[in-house]
Amino acid sequence: MASLITCPHCGVRPKEEFTIRGDASPVRPAPEAKFAAWDAYVHLRDNVRGRMAEHWQHSGGCRRWLVVERDTFTHAVHSVVDAAEFARARAAKPGRAKTSKAAPAKPAKAASKGRGKA
């Protein structure tokens, strides 16, 4: 079965109509911010295993930018919102804006199927 994303403008569409840009959670520092803040914004990203908000463009449809909350492990899509609405909601809550994501995921357990103890 193909993965589906529900575009708020076009309805349910196959994921092949979309192009991913990446993590939607970093907040751009103020222009006068220190070098360390800009360095972190440009270069540092978490490799989340679990739910993550990502920017996607509906390149095969309405061409709008969307924020898709998706599980990076199961690829299940949990929510989709227009990126403009996401930005307005984040701007309305300036105290809650974060430059880092949620707490890191717990390390995965090593698979031990088919291996005997040495």
Query: Could you tell me which residue, 76 or 100, shows the higher pLDDT?
Result: 76
The string of DSSP codes covering the chain is ---EEEETTTEEEEGGG-EEEEES---PPPTT--HHHHHHHHH-----SSEEEEEEE-TTTT--EEEEEEETTT--EEEEEEHHHHHHHHHH-GGG--SS-SSPPPPPPPP-TT----
91/17 Cα distance (integer angstroms): 29
Tell me what pLDDT residue 95 has. Answer: 59
Residue 4 has pLDDT above 50, yes or no: yes
CATH 3.40.50.1820 fits 1-23+52-95, yes or no: no
Tell me what pLDDT residue 18 has. Answer: 96
Reduced to 3 states (helix: H, G, I; strand: E, B; else coil), residue 19 is strand
Task: List, for residues 45-93, the tens digit of each pLDDT value.
Answer: 888 899 999 999 999 999 999 999 999 999 999 999 999 999 999 888 8
Residue 12 has pLDDT above 90, yes or no: yes
Reduced to 3 states (helix: H, G, I; strand: E, B; else coil), residue 92 is helix
Tell me what pLDDT residue 92 has. Answer: 87
